[in-house]
């Protein structure tokens, strides 16, 4: 049966090792060969994506080339710039797949503003890792040059800059995104979590932060009332005791059960935890009684569609 689906793309769908535009465009062409399977089954699709590596790299480029007459841009603008660049690559690659499959729809990237609370605690406690990984020595040198930067060790992979990451409250462009989806075309939205803004009278003012794209995707999925939120990442399933000899794959799981695993600290913060939290929020807040959140990999899409593979979270599993 066809459904309305929001698919959130993880980092490996866009950037593996090579950060050149050629490599990222190629990665997205491969990604779209998988995504088109949803469209061919008659589903209505909305796509979101991350930007952590790209926005970090862009801020470094900006800082390196900045002069008084050509100043570097603040983080909210850099987020919008990466929404633009990744959105362009993605709509280009999706349109190619739609064309190859004789499908009449088009893809369109929507620069999305996401309203956040100016008093969100994350503004005082930056936690979102962005950009490249540094050795301990490199991290020390960066800190000496930029005393305002906070760097933290990220899951044994090296040190990364962290920036504030407030919770998304309202997706400003949700109605237009919904209209594009309902028309049968494919909106690409809340890229990089969307551009963080705060309300100030009649205006929306940018805030320097990077919103977690899984949380923004969840908020959008709720607002536009999709049936399914599918979070694609590098693993086919969520695991208990992840990476341990006794790791256990989660397949179909009720929301009440996965909430217990969250409490037991099963999921790493900054990687799997926001995905599982977003899945729980979607299933609990959705107006659809059968709302389904799925966490799986790009390469597992075929098996999800044909056999229900992946980690599937619902209110009740029949």
Ligand X SMILES: NC(=O)OP(=O)(O)O
In the complex, the residues that contact ligand ADP under the rule CB under 6 A are: 10-12, 50, 233-235, 238-239, 242, 266-268, 271-272
Query: In the block, which residue shows the tokens 């990665």?
Result: 27
DSSP state of 224: T
CB nearer ligand ADP, residue 196 or residue 310: 310
In the complex with ligand X, the residue whose CB is nearer, 44 or 57, is 57
The sign of the torsion formed by the CA atoms of 89, 91, 92, 97 equals positive
Q: Is 17 a catalytic residue?
A: no
Q: How far apart are CA 105 and CA 103, in angstroms?
A: 6
**Residue nearer to ligand ADP on the CB measure, 43 or 311:** 311
How many Å apart are CA 159 and CA 223, to the nearest integer?
A: 36
Least distance between ligand X and beta carbon 193 (Å)? 4
Question: Shortest distance, CB of residue 104 to ligand X, whole angstroms?
Answer: 31
Residue range at the interface with ligand X (CB under 6 A); choices 57-65, 87-95, 115-123, 210-218: 210-218
213 has catalytic annotation: yes
Cβ atoms of 233 and 301 within 8 Å: the answer is no
Q: Catalytic site residue 143?
A: no
Shortest CB 93 distance to ligand ADP, Å: 18
Residue 15 vs 107, nearer CB to ligand X:
15
At 44, is the secondary structure helix, strand, or coil? strand
210 binds ligand X (CB under 6 A): yes
Buried/exposed 183-196: b ≥16 CB within 10 Å, e otherwise: eebbbbbbbbbbbb
- DSSP H helices in the chain: 21-40, 52-65, 75-100, 136-145, 174-182, 213-223, 255-263, 272-285, 301-307
Residue closest to ligand X, measured at CB: 50
Q: DSSP code of 122?
A: G
Report if residue 193 touches ligand X, rule: CB under 6 A.
yes
The catalytic residue among 275, 300, 310, 314 is 275
- Mapped onto helix, strand or coil, the DSSP state of residue 1 is coil
Kindly state whether residue 50 participates in binding ligand X, applying the rule CB under 6 A.
Answer: yes
Residue nearest to ligand ADP (CB): 10
DSSP notation for 7-25: EEE-GGGT-SS--SHHHHH
Partner whose footprint covers residue 215, from ligand ADP, ligand X, none (CB < 5 to 8 Å by kind)? none
Q: Least CB distance from residue 171 to ligand ADP, whole Å?
A: 19
Q: List contacts with ligand X (CB under 6 A).
A: 11, 50-52, 192-193, 210, 212-213
Catalytic center residues: 11-12, 128, 213, 275
């Amino acid at each position: 049966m066809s459904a309305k689906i929001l698919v959130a793309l993880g980092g490996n769908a866009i950037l593996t090792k090579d950060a050149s535009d050629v490599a990222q465009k190629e990665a997205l062409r491969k990604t779209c060969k998988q995504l088109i399977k949803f469209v061919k089954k008659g589903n209505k699709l909305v796509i979101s994506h991350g930007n952590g590596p790209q926005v970090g790299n862009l801020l470094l480029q900006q800082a390196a080339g900045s002069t008084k007459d050509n100043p570097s841009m603040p983080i909210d603008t850099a987020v919008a710039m990466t929404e633009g660049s990744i959105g362009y690559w993605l709509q280009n690659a999706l349109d190619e797949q739609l064309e190859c499959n004789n499908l009449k729809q088009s893809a369109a990237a929507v620069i999305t503003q996401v309203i956040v609370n100016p008093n969100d605690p994350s503004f005082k406690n930056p936690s979102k890792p962005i950009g490249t990984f540094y050795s301990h020595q490199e991290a020390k040198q960066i800190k000496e040059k930029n005393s305002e930067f906070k760097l933290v060790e990220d899951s044994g992979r090296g040190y990364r800059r962290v920036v504030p990451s407030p919770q998304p409250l309202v997706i400003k462009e949700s109605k237009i995104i919904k209209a594009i989806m309902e028309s049968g075309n494919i909106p690409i939205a809340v890229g990089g979590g969307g551009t963080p803004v705060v309300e100030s009278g009649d205006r929306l003012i940018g805030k320097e932060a990077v919103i977690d794209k899984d949380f923004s995707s969840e908020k959008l999925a709720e607002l536009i009332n999709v049936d399914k939120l599918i979070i694609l990442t590098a693993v086919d399933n969520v695991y208990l005791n992840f990476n341990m000899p006794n790791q256990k794959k989660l397949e179909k799981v009720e929301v009440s059960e996965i909430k217990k695993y969250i409490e037991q600290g099963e999921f790493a913060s900054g990687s799997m935890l926001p995905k599982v939290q977003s899945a729980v929020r979607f299933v609990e807040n959705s107006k659809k009684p059968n709302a389904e959140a799925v966490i799986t990999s790009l390469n597992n899409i075929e098996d999800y569609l044909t056999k229900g593979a992946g980690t599937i979270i619902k209110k009740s599993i029949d």
